[in-house]
């Protein structure tokens, strides 16, 4: 199961494809060319602002682009509460990230008691305008620091657009939400607070008992973008009323207008749309009622929760167009020729549309490599990140101190000490429970003596058997040698009482041995020896506790229990039978592509376990399509063996992580979505290969955003190979689960494996509890970069990922060509002449997996600079290389 505090099952939020609302032909076409990357700052991953609308051409004419067919009215009934305005007036160009925080002592102990948080999330995710994405939920007690911690995490780190807090706003002695958030607000919004209060007072007089507050937090102070914070009462009824005001028909356009302004927009486009919509309502309500026949109005087109562009049903509607289009419809006024413009509710294109509707220019900006790595670090949870804090008091004791218990996002688990601990990371400090050695022991083979009483001379030899016999006989002083005796001892054996040194066997000679067996000794046993040198007190003796003293720290929390054996051996050495470790993340791997063939299922091959390939559950539509293609013998078609999954699975398992093989799926939405849901249910990280670029069948980005409701944090990276690498998070559906992480890697084999080591492995290492490779913290990185004047509020991104594999300086054995993008050149690093020398593996084409064969490092070839172009790095130059193993 995935990494969870409670190992509960993940349930995907989006409806299956078969349940999604049907799209009209015009609705699909209307999405063409409208997607763009949401915002200039990657942290605002799903927030975008509209561009100036282009007036539509008349029906049947062109304006630099093909005209759209008429839009058929949707079968969806209009949603109305009797108030002026509908959800349709909310432009579809706005998507905002939201964090929902429940403040409740009760729900902290019993998460199932939280009804308000799930209700708010449900309202947002089912909002007809599809303008909101809930990217974080949490439950905390009525504690100032706990409330502030989550609010600051969402506002300062994840940079969400809106934080909704339910609970802790009343007059109760524990209610402390206003006190927690007021110090975080640097722009109060008193009118919004008053409006919410007035709205609630119309529902119930008890609203006077609410101390709910609202305001804007700007992490960098005045002048920067910010987050709107809204607190509300904790009851489900009150939460619904607040949501009715904020997101209902009458005011949802206002809240989006506010969020647009807070995020740095001018609000001009939305304000104009609102004014136009208001004027339309005023002018057309009577004419619609009189005619009795509605018509499609472009001003009310909206994206449904499923992403469908549709008009409201026209009959008896008060949303008719201002002109008398009573018997015909016309197309949505969407620009068709401004490629790469902003303006769609989804960044991605509609994958169900025709090939001609796909993007011609990627809507995702190319991020610097360090910026992309920093985003992965930001959205990868640490095992030490607190998830839930429970506050309890000792029962029956008035005024007893409260006990705080913190539940981690990734709960440590006990594991028996043994070889199975390989690759795990300690989740606790391990201390010695006793002194080691527990008493003085010998460092050598020899004879234990009392140093001051044992001069050079002859002595009788006794053994452990001698002392044991004396103890049985009840002799006085049976536990120690008598005067004139020495005790034969082996290395590591404990010294008997009365001895304090050991004479090495090399400093003795045999004087007498037993020639026949007796009751006290076997034949050949030493009877007497001669000591050739006197020893000092403590000589050749390890004192008690000299290896490990009781209570001393033996292994630190965060230590990786490696395959070399030292750490696991140490645990056994101190007598630990069980330790707490972080669970390893599970990784699901999926290959996409109709042309792919599983090598284990190729003709003449047997699947795992010797079953016939046709009976294997891993046979997907790709194999079936390959068989059909081969049967038809189409001269333009061919199949290729899937090299990505076998290579990735080997690499992941080689790093000690468990793999779930999702097999191969063809280039179709349904099978790809189904496979991804299966991976998200059982794994913590999902890796896909293929389908990330600009081709007709590249479906991963649209599926992630539209079907899985994921947040795509980046979709292109300035690197070679691996430009179309995509990273996304999928919100967990259970309160105690972590969000799922999804990496959509390129389909070229070398690209996929290189990107695994560059992007995915640092994420897995952080999830597993590894210590960072580099000690520089994100806070230090922010501060240092800000001090150099390198960043401002809109571009402040963490640089790099502290969990990236270690780097070393290497000397190039051959010259290497540079590229406008940073490149990872596959090499074999050898130690020669006191330095590391890097030998290229040959042709570096991304389509050839063989460039990764024998490679144990990736040379980081810097990008070619425009002002001082260097087209090659010469042999003998020093560069950095990432060590792979």
**In the predicted model, is pLDDT for residue 5 greater than 70?**
no
pLDDT digits (tens, 9 = 90+) for 232-284: 999 999 999 999 999 887 776 788 888 888 887 765 555 555 554 444 444 33
β-strand partners of 503: 447
Weakest mean pLDDT among 87-96, 190-199, 281-290, 518-527: 281-290
Q: What is the 3-state secondary structure (H, E, C) of 278-316?
A: HHHHHHHHHHHHHHCCCCCCHHHCEECCCCCEECCCCCC
Q: What number is the average pLDDT over the span 666-694? A: 91
**CA end-to-end span of the chain, whole Å?**
28
**In the predicted model, is pLDDT for residue 292 greater than 90?**
no
Reduced to 3 states (helix: H, G, I; strand: E, B; else coil), residue 882 is strand
Phi-psi sector, 875: left (phi>0), alpha (psi -120 to 50), beta: beta
Residue ranges of domains in the chain: 441-542, 806-883
Q: Are 193 and 213 in contact (CB under 8 A)?
A: yes
Report the alpha-carbon distance of residue 80 to residue 98 in Å, rounded: 25
How confident is the model at residue 799, as a pLDDT? 52
Q: Are 47 and 342 in contact (CB under 8 A)?
A: no
Q: Supply angle C-alpha 539, 543, 548, rounded to 5.
A: 140
Helices and strands per DSSP (H, E), number in the chain: 19, 38
Q: What number is the average pLDDT over the span 194-222? A: 90
pLDDT digits (tens, 9 = 90+) for 761-795: 999 999 999 999 875 443 334 333 333 333 333 33
**In the predicted model, is pLDDT for residue 308 greater than 60?**
no
Mean pLDDT of all residues belonging to the chain:
75
Residue 519 pLDDT class (50, 70, 90 cuts)? low
Residue 311 pLDDT class (50, 70, 90 cuts)? very low
**In the predicted model, is pLDDT for residue 691 greater than 70?**
yes
Cα–Cα separations (whole angstroms), residue 756 to 328, 661, 764, 768, 883: 54, 16, 10, 16, 13
**In the predicted model, is pLDDT for residue 68 greater than 60?**
no
Q: Are 46 and 714 in contact (CB under 8 A)?
A: no
How confident is the model at residue 476, as a pLDDT? 84
β-strand partners of 92: none
**In the predicted model, is pLDDT for residue 286 greater than 60?**
no
Q: Are 515 and 465 in contact (CB under 8 A)?
A: no
How confident is the model at residue 223, as a pLDDT? 61
How confident is the model at residue 695, as a pLDDT? 60
pLDDT digits (tens, 9 = 90+) for 571-611: 999 999 999 999 999 999 999 998 888 887 755 544 443 33
Q: What number is the average pLDDT over the span 667-673? A: 91
- Please, what's the b/e burial string for 415-441 (b: 16 or more CB within 10 A of its CB; e: otherwise)? bebeeebeebbbbeebebeebbbeebb
**In the predicted model, is pLDDT for residue 320 greater than 80?**
no
Reduced to 3 states (helix: H, G, I; strand: E, B; else coil), residue 41 is coil
Between 97 and 694, the more confident residue is 97
pLDDT digits (tens, 9 = 90+) for 104-160: 999 988 888 899 999 999 898 888 777 888 888 899 999 998 999 999 989 887 788
Report the alpha-carbon distance of residue 511 to residue 508 in Å, rounded: 9
Q: Are 357 and 704 in contact (CB under 8 A)?
A: no
Residue 416 pLDDT class (50, 70, 90 cuts)? very high
Percent of the chain with pLDDT over 70: 67
H or E stretch covering 781: helix 778-787
Residues contacting residue 50 through CB under 8 Å, at least 6 positions apart: 91, 93, 94, 269, 270, 342, 343
Reduced to 3 states (helix: H, G, I; strand: E, B; else coil), residue 857 is strand
Report the alpha-carbon distance of residue 856 to residue 834 in Å, rounded: 18
How confident is the model at residue 295, as a pLDDT? 31
**In the predicted model, is pLDDT for residue 75 greater than 50?**
no
Long-range contacts of 866-872 (CB under 8 A, 24+ apart): 870/818, 871/817, 871/818, 872/815, 872/816, 872/817, 872/818
Give the strand pairing for 457-462 and 596-597: unpaired
**Residue 262 is encoded by which pair of tokens?**
């807070």
Residue 639 pLDDT class (50, 70, 90 cuts)? confident
pLDDT digits (tens, 9 = 90+) for 718-764: 999 999 999 999 877 665 677 899 999 999 999 999 999 999 999 99
Q: How many residues does the chain have?
A: 885
Q: Architecture of domain 441-542 in CATH? A: Beta Complex (2.170)
Report the alpha-carbon distance of residue 784 to residue 299 in Å, rounded: 49
pLDDT digits (tens, 9 = 90+) for 793-850: 333 344 578 999 989 999 999 999 999 899 999 999 999 999 999 999 998 888 888 8
Residue 543 pLDDT class (50, 70, 90 cuts)? very high
From the options 1.20.1250.20, 3.90.1150.10, 2.40.340.10, 3.40.50.10330, give the CATH code of 806-883. Answer: 2.40.340.10
How confident is the model at residue 301, as a pLDDT? 30
Report the alpha-carbon distance of residue 236 to residue 172 in Å, rounded: 18
β-strand partners of 164: 100, 230
**In the predicted model, is pLDDT for residue 418 greater than 90?**
yes
H or E stretch covering 742: strand 740-745
pLDDT digits (tens, 9 = 90+) for 360-397: 677 788 899 999 999 999 889 888 765 544 444 444 44
C-beta neighbour count of 293 within 10 angstroms: 13
Q: In the chain, how long is the greatest CA-to-CA distance?
A: 129
Percent of the chain with pLDDT over 90: 47
How confident is the model at residue 197, as a pLDDT? 92
Residue 8 pLDDT class (50, 70, 90 cuts)? very low
Q: What number is the average pLDDT over the span 500-513? A: 96
């Amino acid at each position: 199961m995935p990494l969870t505090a409670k190992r509960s099952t993940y349930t995907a939020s989006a409806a299956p494809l078969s349940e999604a609302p049907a799209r009209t032909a015009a609705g699909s076409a209307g999405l063409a060319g409208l997607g763009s990357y949401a915002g200039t700052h990657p942290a605002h991953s799903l927030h975008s602002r509209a561009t100036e609308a282009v007036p539509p051409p008349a029906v049947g004419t062109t304006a630099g682009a093909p005209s759209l067919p008429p839009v058929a009215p949707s079968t969806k009934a209009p949603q109305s509460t009797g108030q002026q305005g509908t959800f349709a007036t909310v432009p579809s160009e706005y998507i905002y990230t939201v964090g929902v925080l429940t403040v409740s002592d009760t729900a902290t102990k019993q998460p199932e008691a939280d009804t308000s948080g799930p209700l708010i999330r449900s309202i947002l995710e089912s909002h007809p305008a599809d303008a909101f994405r809930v990217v974080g939920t949490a439950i905390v007690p009525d504690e100032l620091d706990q409330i502030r911690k989550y609010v600051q995490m969402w506002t300062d780190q994840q940079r969400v657009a809106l934080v909704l807090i339910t609970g802790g706003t009343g007059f109760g002695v524990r209610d402390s939400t206003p006190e927690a958030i007021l110090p975080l607000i640097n722009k109060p919004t008193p009118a919004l607070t008053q409006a919410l209060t007035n709205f609630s007072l119309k529902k119930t007089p008890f609203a006077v008992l609410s101390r709910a507050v609202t305001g804007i937090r700007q992490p960098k102070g005045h002048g920067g973008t910010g987050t709107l914070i809204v607190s509300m009462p904790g009851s489900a009824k009150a939460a619904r009323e607040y949501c009715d005001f904020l997101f209902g028909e009458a005011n949802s356009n206002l809240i989006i207008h506010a969020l647009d302004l807070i995020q740095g927009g001018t609000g001009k486009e939305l304000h104009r749309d609102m004014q136009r919509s208001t004027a339309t309502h005023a002018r057309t309500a009577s004419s619609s009622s009189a005619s009795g026949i509605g018509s499609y109005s472009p001003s009310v087109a909206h994206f449904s929760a499923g992403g469908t562009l549709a008009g409201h049903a026209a009959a008896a509607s008060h949303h008719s167009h201002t002109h008398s289009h009573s018997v015909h419809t016309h197309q949505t006024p969407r620009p068709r020729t401004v490629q790469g413009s902003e303006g769609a509710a989804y960044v991605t294109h509609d994958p169900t549309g025709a090939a001609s509707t796909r993007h011609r220019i990627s809507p995702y900006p190319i991020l610097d490599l360090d910026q992309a790595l920093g985003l992965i670090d930001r959205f990868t949870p640490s095992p030490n990140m607190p998830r839930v804090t429970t506050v309890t008091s000792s029962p029956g004791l008035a005024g007893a101190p409260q006990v705080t218990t913190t539940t981690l996002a990734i709960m440590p688990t006990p594991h028996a000490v043994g070889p199975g601990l390989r690759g795990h990371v300690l989740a606790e400090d391990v201390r010695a429970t006793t002194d080691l050695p527990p008493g003085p022991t010998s460092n050598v083979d020899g004879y234990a003596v009392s140093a001051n009483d044992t001069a050079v001379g002859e002595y009788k030899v006794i053994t452990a058997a001698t002392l044991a016999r004396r103890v049985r006989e009840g002799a006085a002083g049976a536990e120690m040698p008598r005067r004139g005796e020495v005790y034969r001892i082996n290395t590591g054996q404990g010294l008997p009482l009365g001895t304090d040194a050991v004479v090495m066997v090399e400093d003795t000679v045999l004087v007498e041995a037993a020639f026949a067996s007796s009751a006290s000794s076997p034949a050949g046993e030493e009877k007497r020896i001669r000591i050739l040198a006197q020893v000092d007190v403590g000589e050749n003796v390890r004192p008690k506790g000299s290896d490990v003293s009781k209570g001393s720290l033996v292994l630190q929390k965060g230590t990786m229990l490696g395959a070399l054996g030292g750490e696991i051996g140490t645990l056994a050495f101190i007598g630990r039978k069980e330790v707490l470790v972080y669970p390893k993340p599970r990784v699901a791997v999926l290959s996409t592509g109709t042309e792919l063939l599983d090598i284990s299922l190729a003709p003449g091959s047997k699947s795992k376990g010797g079953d016939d390939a046709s009976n294997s559950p891993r046979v997907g539509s790709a194999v079936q399509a390959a068989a059909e293609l081969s049967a038809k013998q189409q001269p333009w078609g061919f199949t290729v063996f899937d090299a990505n999954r076998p290579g990735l699975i080997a690499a992941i398992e080689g790093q000690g992580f468990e793999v779930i093989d999702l097999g191969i799926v063809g280039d179709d939405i349904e099978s790809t979505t189904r496979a991804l849901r299966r991976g998200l249910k059982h794994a913590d990280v999902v890796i896909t290969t293929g389908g990330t670029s600009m081709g007709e069948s590249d479906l991963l980005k649209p599926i992630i955003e539209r079907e899985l409701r994921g947040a795509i944090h980046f979709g292109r990276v300035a690197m070679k190979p691996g430009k179309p690498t995509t990273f996304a998070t999928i919100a967990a559906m259970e309160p105690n689960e972590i969000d799922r992480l999804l990496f959509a890697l390129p389909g070229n084999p070398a690209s996929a494996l290189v990107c695994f080591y560059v992007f995915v492995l640092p994420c897995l290492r952080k999830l597993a509890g590894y210590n960072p490779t580099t000690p520089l913290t994100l806070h230090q990185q922010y501060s240092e970069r800000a001090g150099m004047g390198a960043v401002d509020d809109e571009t402040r991104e963490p640089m790099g990922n502290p969990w990236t594999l270690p780097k070393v300086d290497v000397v190039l054995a051959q010259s290497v060509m540079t590229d406008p993008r940073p490149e990872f050149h596959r090499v074999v690093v050898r130690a020669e002449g006191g330095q590391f020398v890097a030998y290229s593996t040959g042709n570096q084409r991304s389509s050839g997996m063989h460039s990764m064969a024998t490679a144990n490092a990736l040379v980081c070839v810097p990008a070619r600079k425009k002002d001082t172009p260097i087209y090659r790095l010469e042999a003998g130059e020093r560069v950095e290389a990432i060590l792979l193993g």
